[in-house]
Amino acid sequence: SRQRRNENVKAAPPTSPYNLSEYFKQFVFPQNECELHNFRLSFSQLKWDKWIIAPHRYSPQYCQGDCPRAVGHRYGSPVHTMVQNLIYEKLDPSVPKPSCVPAEYSPLSVLTIEPDGSIVYKEYEDMIATKCTCR
Amino acid sequence: PHSRGRGGSDKAPGVFAAPEDAPSELNPVLQLPKGGRRGYALLPPLLKVLSDQGPRSWDSKAPRLQPDSRALRYMKRLYKMSATKEGIPKTHKGHLYNTVRLFTPCLECGHGHRDLVKGGVHSVDLLFNLDRVTALEHLLKSVLLYSFDTSVPISSSMTFICHLSIKEHDFASQVCPSISHSLAFSLHFEVSKRKWVEIDVTSFLQPLIATNRRNIHMAVNFTCLMGDPQQSTKLENPVNVTLVPPSLLLYLNDTSEQAHHRWNSLGHRSKSPVRVRPMNSPLVDHTGDKRKGNSQGKRA
């Protein structure tokens, strides 16, 4: 193996600093990588404040960004995600790349006025995205 | 959700000066009747709008009736007690409900409420329409919510010994005896601070809701003695304490998919990769001495 390494060293031409950055580019994660983004709305913007008494503001958040090829450990993605990426790259580009979607949520408590004038406090599941994944 | 709550109905119905005290006791969980399926069709407005085409559809269906301002004030304080400013539910013990519904007496049904005070006895005739309760919302507790309007400032702290008797008027057939229910309770509070009193009527409402009653019609007599229970008390109507007709409060556990389930979030935590060590594992030191347990652990 030492001999093979010597041969390899002789074969590989000295890389100029320019090629080096190009060379490393393939390992860098995408700039706009898949991640959680803030989004805050008030129910008055939707004109729902007539019947939603509380909360006044609500931050559902959202997931956006490109999914890197090596998604495994970083996003807790299943192996299927990498398979889908391979299909997109090698076999059929009409198959979509994996998407950046929410993986976990937290609940939201809402105080509303019902059509009959009664008042209800309710806790709804899965109303705020708290974590993203590639699927 | 069909298991009976821990507290069961073994607790005598108490009086909660609300909303400072978080509702804490448990009551038998009730399976709402089949008839409630109609209620099931009435999706909670939040989801109805989210599933409809945007808010315009809702604008046309703005609430027909505006809620009572006192009731609104009470529910806003309950909200502050149950959730953060951002709307994240607070987890505190005993907070098993994920839904609380407040109904004010139905005025447009022509019954409204007849209100009379005779010799210190305050009688009121109430009709509550429970159509909004869905079939998947299981009753945990129900209370009558009285708010005291004192027109004349009265001494800061006083003791009431109250008797509440409730009769259920059964329209359907006068034949069957109306279910009556009476309970006595003593109430000590600083009227100036507390404007609300919660009177637990779960055991009274239980048979009515269990028989799929969508309209609860009750006559309530409220008598209060004022004075020190130990001394001789005389029947007298507290100085100008006028009782506003009570609202009906239902603490419910919504078992539908969209509702937040606390036990679920607990369950979610137990899914985290924390291994539960068997009691006989070398790491668990039965004498409870952690250090020793750890040293054993290291050796093991």
CA of A104 vs chain B CAs: smallest distance (Å): 11
Other residues' Cβ atoms within 10 Å of the Cβ of residue B271: 7
Q: Which tops the pLDDT comparison, B96 or B107? A: B96
DSSP state of B88: P
pLDDT of B297 higher than 70: no
CA distance B300 to B292: 12
3-class secondary-structure state, position B284? coil
* B117, pLDDT greater than 60: no
Token pair in block for residue B50: 């989210």
Query: How many CB atoms are located within 10 Å of the residue B71 CB?
Result: 20
- Measured CA to CA, the distance from residue B108 to residue B118 in angstroms comes to 26
Determine, for residues B58 and A48 on separate chains, whether the beta-carbon distance falls below 8 Å.
Answer: yes
| Residues of A in Cβ contact (< 8 Å) with B132 | 114, 116, 118, 120
Residue of A39, A40, A52, A116 best to disrupt the B interface, most CBs of B under 10 A: A116
The reported pLDDT for the residue numbered A64 is 95
Residue B24 to residues A119, B19, B251: CA-CA distances in angstroms? 21, 12, 11
Which is more confident, B185 or A5? A5
The span from the CA of B218 to the CA of B127, in Å, is 6
Which residue of chain A is at minimal alpha-carbon distance from B133? A120
Alpha-carbon span A93 to A105, nearest angstrom: 31
d(CA A18, CA A31): 20
Rounded mean pLDDT of chain B? 62
- At B220, list the tokens: 């309530």
Predicted confidence (pLDDT) at residue B110 exceeds the cutoff of 50: no
**Cα–Cα distance, A126 to A102 (Å, whole number):** 10
What SS3 class is residue B2? Answer: coil
Nearest CA in chain B to A43: B55
Burial of residue B11, with CB atoms counted within 10 A of its CB: 0-12 exposed, 13-18 middle, 19 or more buried:
middle
Sign of the CA dihedral running B63, B67, B73, B75: negative
Q: B144 with B14: CB under 8 angstroms?
A: no
Question: Looking at A10-99, which runs of residues are DSSP E strands?
Answer: 35-37, 41-42, 52-54, 57-58, 62-64
B204: left (phi over 0), alpha (psi -120 to 50) or beta: alpha
Tell me the C-alpha distance between B155 and B259, whole Å: 45
Q: How far is CA B246 from CA B16, B71, B148, B149, in A?
A: 14, 9, 10, 12
**Residues B238, B154: contact at Cβ < 8 Å?**
yes
Q: Do B45 and A122 touch (CB under 8 A)?
A: no
Encode pLDDT of B282-295 as tens digits.
433 343 444 444 44
Segment B146-198, tens digit of pLDDT = 876 655 455 555 566 666 666 665 555 444 445 566 666 555 555 555 567 78
Alpha-carbon distances of A46 from A42, A125, A130, B62, rounded to whole Å: 7, 21, 23, 13
3-state secondary structure of B173: coil
A-contacting residues in B 89-118 (Cβ below 8 Å)? 89, 98-104
Residue-wise pLDDT for A56-98, tens only, equals 999 999 999 998 876 666 678 888 998 999 999 999 999 999 9
Q: Which two tokens stand for residue B11?
A: 């607790």
Instruction: Choose between B130 and A14: higher pLDDT.
Output: B130
The verdict on B41 touching A (C-beta cutoff 8 Å) is no
Smallest CA–CA separation between A54 and chain B, in Å? 8
Q: Which of B52, B60, B73, B88 to mutate to test the interface with A (most CBs of A within 10 A)?
A: B88
